[in-house]
Amino acid sequence: MKWLSLVLLVKALILGGLTWLGIIGLSPDEAQYWTWSQALDWGYYSKPPGIAWQIALTTALVGNTPLGVRLGALFMGSLISLAVYGVARAAELDKRSAIWAGVIMAVCPLGFYLTLATTTDGGAILCLTLAVIAVIRGPNYWLAGLCILIGALFKWTAFIFWPVLLPFLFFSKQMRKLSFLGGLALSLLALLPSLYWNMGHEWATFKHVGTAVKEVKGGNFFDFLAAQIGLLSPVFFILLVWSYFFSKKRPLWIAAAFPAVVLIYLGFAFFKKMQPNWAAFLYPPGMVLIAWVCCEKLKKGKVWLYVGTAISLTMVAGAFAPLPYRYSPLRQTLGWDRLSGVLNDAGYNPQKDFLFSNKYQNVSLLSFYGPEQKRAYYFNVSQTRKNQFSYWPQMHEKEIGKTGYFVVLENMHSSDASWYIHHYQTLLTPYFEKVTIQGVYPLYESYGVPVKYAVIFKGIHYLGLTPQDPQKY
């Protein structure tokens, strides 16, 4: 156990240090969740309230800094590995196998992602994994229901726990208990905060989820499969698949049931674009299978564990290497530390001016990285879908007659700047007495070539008009 604890401590210190030093900035989603934490509520446009409550707690301890935002991820990512160790012990694996299960979770790319990025996945995955322990040891469905209740406050995908377990009720007397319904009912209480918020906000969350489910943009089977292999690393992914060809006791079949659901996701990927992280919460119980196969079934299993660990760490190290920008997994986090400086250079004064943009990602980054962290506005001149900023105070309610700075954040070539200037100046002109371009500022260079820019416009004397609401969710 001390080796697992040491691995987790070293990993947390490295990732925390990189965040504290500013080497890895926040992603747009992390910045968005931070804005939610500054206005605590019972729910939000696209997610339950758990992630905002988490960030509010950690920033209260450390401050409104990138490390403050990510402190919860550093903690939860470590707990997930310990929970995987707990699943292994509950499934009657020996201590060495259980430690390896936790180490595999810690060193695979998914483990690093969950320890670095503050997302809704972390809380949901941790609680779902704890619920697996409760079922294997008991089954204690009431405790499992409490775990899923907390996990679903982060992300509703935690509810998949119940349909995955359902087949076991038909084939195992030990699993067949009336308390299954009690635990399920208890977990559903997680919906109440979001239901309350949605009652006063035109049921936006459910309309958004419904729209996402209906959308069909063409399948991405091979891209999705490659992403799943990348989350675990090739060796660990192959070992996970291989583990299904060995006979297992009931506890291990419970752990095995969750990664098996990925097959359903792969089926959907033939017809619909699937995001890589949509299946991420299914893998932690699978780490137990990898450790079990390598430590207790394969003669040279220990060699495969070392090879898998080496490849995983190489993949993670490669993500932090100075790759060409388009290939960098961290590209969404780079360059934002320059935002405050370029806004000052453009003439922005937070005491009397306001910031706004046409994408919620840009609005989120401007809110966190802008001078004095003043919340920016979402101004839908591009007629895109609604988001959380659509339900907060708007420019026409607070900023009439004032000067606003409109900021476009884009990955582009310098030769593209003229199109952006003409396009957005045309769109903004009806809403201000005068619109001027303040400059095109590079935010990040890859091999000496600027690849990410801030295009900043100054709108003088806001007239109070608003773009037409497209009613898109």
Q: Which ranges in 109-156 belong to alpha helices (H)?
A: 109-116, 120-137, 141-152
Residue 214 above 70 pLDDT? no
Residue 290 above 90 pLDDT? yes
pLDDT digits (tens, 9 = 90+) for 8-41: 999 999 999 999 988 899 999 999 999 999 999 9
pLDDT digits (tens, 9 = 90+) for 331-379: 999 999 999 999 999 999 999 999 999 999 999 999 999 999 999 999 9
Residues near 134 by beta carbon (within 8 Å), at least 6 away in sequence: 140, 141, 143, 144, 147
Tokens at 282, concatenated: 């299914």
Residue 212 above 90 pLDDT? no
Give the mean model confidence (pLDDT) for residues 187-211.
Answer: 92
pLDDT at residue 216 in the model: 57
What distances in angstroms separate CA 31 from CA 68, 127, 348, 362, one per listed residue?
12, 24, 20, 9
More confidently predicted of 299 and 192:
192
List strands edge to edge, sheet with 354-357: 377-378, 354-357, 404-411, 449-462, 432-446
Share of the chain above pLDDT 70, in %: 99
Q: Report the alpha-carbon distance of residue 93 to residue 188 in Å, rounded.
A: 32
Tokens at 102, concatenated: 């936790």
What's at 379, amino acid-wise?
F
Q: What is the DSSP letter of 174?
A: T
With residues binned 3-state (H G I as helix, E B as strand, rest as coil), the percentages for the chain, rounded to 5, are: 65, 10, 25
DSSP notation for 34-75:
HHHHTS--S--SSS-SHHHHHHHHHHHHH-SSHHHHHHHHHH
Share of the chain above pLDDT 90, in %: 81
What distances in angstroms separate CA 268 from CA 207, 219, 222, 334, one per listed residue?
21, 8, 12, 32
pLDDT at residue 25 in the model: 93
Q: Report the alpha-carbon distance of residue 70 to residue 37 in Å, rounded.
A: 13
What distances in angstroms separate CA 367 from CA 251, 375, 376, one per listed residue?
47, 5, 5
**Confidence category of residue 284, pLDDT binned at 50, 70, 90:** very high
Mean pLDDT of the chain: 93
Residue 469 above 90 pLDDT? no
What's at 217, amino acid-wise?
K
* Cα dihedral sign, 89-289-146-40: positive
Domain-by-domain residue ranges, the chain?
Answer: 2-327, 335-462
Give the mean model confidence (pLDDT) for residues 42-69.
Answer: 96
**Confidence category of residue 218, pLDDT binned at 50, 70, 90:** confident
Give the mean model confidence (pLDDT) for residues 403-427.
Answer: 94
C-beta of residue 232 within 8 angstroms of C-beta of residue 283: yes
pLDDT at residue 109 in the model: 96
Give the mean model confidence (pLDDT) for residues 114-141.
Answer: 95
Give the mean model confidence (pLDDT) for residues 246-254.
Answer: 86
C-beta of residue 379 within 8 angstroms of C-beta of residue 424: no
Q: Return the closest-CA partner of residue 105 out of 81, 83, 89.
A: 81
Buried b (16+ CB within 10 A) or exposed e, 162-171: bebbeebeee
Tokens at 28, concatenated: 């747009």
- Count helices and strands in the chain by DSSP H and E runs: 22, 5
Coil vs helix vs strand at 76 = helix
Residue 256 above 70 pLDDT? yes
The CB density around residue 108, as the number of other CB atoms within 10 Å, is 30
Buried b (16+ CB within 10 A) or exposed e, 233-243: bebbbebbebb
What distances in angstroms separate CA 48 from CA 153, 194, 205, one per listed residue?
5, 6, 9
**Confidence category of residue 217, pLDDT binned at 50, 70, 90:** low
Q: Report the alpha-carbon distance of residue 360 to residue 46 in Å, rounded.
A: 12
Q: Are strands 404-411 and 449-462 parallel, antiparallel or unpaired?
A: antiparallel
Cis preceding linkage at 329, omega within 30: no
